Amino acid sequence: MAAGGPALPQERRLVTEIPGPASRELLARRDRSVARGVSHVLPVFVTAAGGGVLVDADGNSLIDFGSGIAVTGVGNSAPEVVERVTDQVSRFTHTCFMVAPYEGYVSVCEELAWLTPGGHDKRSALFSSGAEAVENAVKIARHATGRPAVITFDHAYHGRTNLTMALTAKNMPYKHRFGPFAGEIYRAPMAYPLRWPTGPGNCAEEAFAVVTELIHTQVGEQNVAALVIEPIQGEGGFVVPPDGFLPRLAAFCRDNGIVFIADEIQTGFCRTGDWFACDHESVVPDLVTTAKALAGGLPLAAVTGRAALMDAVHPGGLGGTYGGNPVACAAALGAIAAMERGDLAGRARHIGAVMLPRLRDLAARHPVIAEVRGRGAMLAIELTVPGTLQPAPDVAKRVASACHRAGLMVLTCGTFGNVLRFLPPLVIGDELLGEGLTILEHAFGRA
Ligand SMILES: Cc1ncc(COP(=O)(O)O)c(C=O)c1O
């Protein structure tokens, strides 16, 4: 059996068509046993992964520009993660932290207090998925403030549970026919420079004015428990708000007793070139939600925030059977060690510096690319009918399929499905990164 991790040959190698016969056979089995609602970007069945590659059941080695949706920043089966998980799993796998505690949980909370923005006194609670963390952040904010309303944004994505579906903007495929949704959620326009009606130059100021007016006229500041925002939106299209928007929102929240929740589930842990995307403008949220890259591929999520807010909740009010599972905590401690050792925030900035000029070059040659945007190793290109803002999701689909056939895993996103996003593992080598970009360029040439 092939071992994964960074020892895997860091090469693209295609020995069959994509997906190959072994993957197609597994897909037929999958169709007979797995619900149709759970779908795939690319049905290659993975047998090993590490560094910047995914190896499939046919022996193909694909370049990974997806990191399992921003999870394996440290690379798949990173040695620090494997070592600590192996040690932990041989000692004990579960007690339930609410039944009998263990040190790993506490150590992860100490790391979160140290790494998340702000030097204030913090507490954390651990969960198993990002959606669960967002739900709990809202629970904590409501409990601490005694207020009901929550502000969310156009293009937001916060998960698929009932409350987080209500926070999420996009109908298809996330919400369609899954309602009714949780109440007391109010949606505000997002500062989306490319699509701001009066142009990107006015976006920060006008978007802030629209949001605060909406809160004032439709909800009432004193009724708002929390404002939840992704500092760079993920599934909604890698929308980067203009500088100034987030600090203004944070100040408005502070002035009105509203809990400012930064959902850093996709942006966190070095992805954007800082430990957290909020660091870019020194924004200090009251609560931060994290998951994905936190534990190098094992399911772990957290809410971290001001001690007074977090500790407002009565004992027993927060938790869950698996939240902060000891094996997942061991993985998180390994992943954080790997991020520190490898200066993965620096690596993310390097990846951005390599990718951005080539993506901009590509945009100069293909007018279907309306914008190249992102930060660090969280980059995207938005496709529109040339000269207009009319989304071109069909082109995004064709380019992604051409990349897949050539052995490059890329993902799409966006409210209109017209954004190609790039989330390579932060440990990917420059050669693979360059080869991936060449494949993308060829794919555009044929799209
Ligand atoms: C910003 C953001 N919040 C929440 C979630 C939900 O996380 P999970 O899929 O672990 O429930 C995601 C997942 O993509 C996300 O990107």
Q: What is the pLDDT of residues 196-211, one digit of tens each?
A: 999 999 999 999 999 9
Task: Tell whether ligand 1 has an atom less than 6 A from the beta carbon of residue 128.
Answer: no
pLDDT in tens, 97-156: 999 999 999 999 999 999 999 999 999 999 999 999 999 999 999 999 999 999 999 999
- Ligand 1 centroid distance, CA of 158 (Å): 5
CB neighbourhood size of 27 (10 A): 15
Task: Tell whether ligand 1 has an atom less than 6 A from the beta carbon of residue 58.
Answer: no
In sequence order, what are the residues at sequence separation of 6 or more whose Cβ sits closer than 8 angstroms to the Cβ of residue 141? 150, 225, 226, 259, 261, 286, 287, 309
How far apart are alpha carbons 29 and 23 in whole angstroms? 10
Residues of 198-232 as b/e, b for ≥16 C-beta within 10 angstroms? Answer: eeeeebbebbbeebbeebeeebebeebbbbbbbbb
- Ligand 1 centroid distance, CA of 265 (Å): 6
Residue nearest to atom 10 of ligand 1 (CA): 130
pLDDT in tens, 282-339: 999 999 999 999 999 999 999 999 999 999 999 999 999 999 999 999 999 999 999 9
- What would the mean pLDDT of 208-216 be, rounded to a whole number? 98
Residue 3 pLDDT exceeds 90: no
SS3 label, residue 254: helix
Q: Band of the pLDDT at 423, cuts 50, 70, 90?
A: very high
DSSP 44: P
Task: Tell whether ligand 1 has an atom less than 6 A from the beta carbon of residue 149.
Answer: no
Rg (CA), the chain: 21
**pLDDT score of 446:** 82
Q: At 140, which helix (H) or strand (E)?
A: helix 130-145
Task: Tell whether ligand 1 has an atom less than 6 A from the beta carbon of residue 167.
Answer: no
- What would the mean pLDDT of 231-257 be, rounded to a whole number? 98
- Ligand 1 centroid distance, CA of 237 (Å): 14
Residue nearest to atom 4 of ligand 1 (CA): 158
**pLDDT score of 1:** 42
Residue 89 pLDDT exceeds 50: yes
Q: Band of the pLDDT at 2, cuts 50, 70, 90?
A: very low
Residue 363 pLDDT exceeds 90: yes
Query: Which of the listed residues 238, 266, 290 should we mutate to test ligand 1's pocket, taking the one with most ligand atoms within 8 A of CB?
Result: 266
CB neighbourhood size of 312 (10 A): 15
Cα–Cα distances in Å, from 69 out to 78, 154, 217, 296, 327?
17, 21, 37, 12, 21
Strands (DSSP E) found in 83-215: 122-127, 149-153, 185-188
**pLDDT score of 447:** 78
Q: Which of 394, 421, 39 is nearest to 234 (CA)?
A: 421
Task: Tell whether ligand 1 has an atom less than 6 A from the beta carbon of residue 231.
Answer: no
- Ligand 1 centroid distance, CA of 266 (Å): 7
- Ligand 1 centroid distance, CA of 14 (Å): 32
Q: In this prediction, what percent of the chain has a pLDDT beyond 70?
A: 100
Alpha helices in 298-410 (DSSP H): 307-310, 326-341, 344-365, 393-405
Cβ distance 260 to 118 under 8 Å? no
Q: Band of the pLDDT at 26, cuts 50, 70, 90?
A: very high
Task: Tell whether ligand 1 has an atom less than 6 A from the beta carbon of residue 72.
Answer: no
Task: Tell whether ligand 1 has an atom less than 6 A from the beta carbon of residue 135.
Answer: no
- Ligand 1 centroid distance, CA of 376 (Å): 19
- Ligand 1 centroid distance, CA of 233 (Å): 11
- Ligand 1 centroid distance, CA of 130 (Å): 5
**pLDDT score of 52:** 98
**pLDDT score of 382:** 98
Task: Tell whether ligand 1 has an atom less than 6 A from the beta carbon of residue 157.
Answer: yes
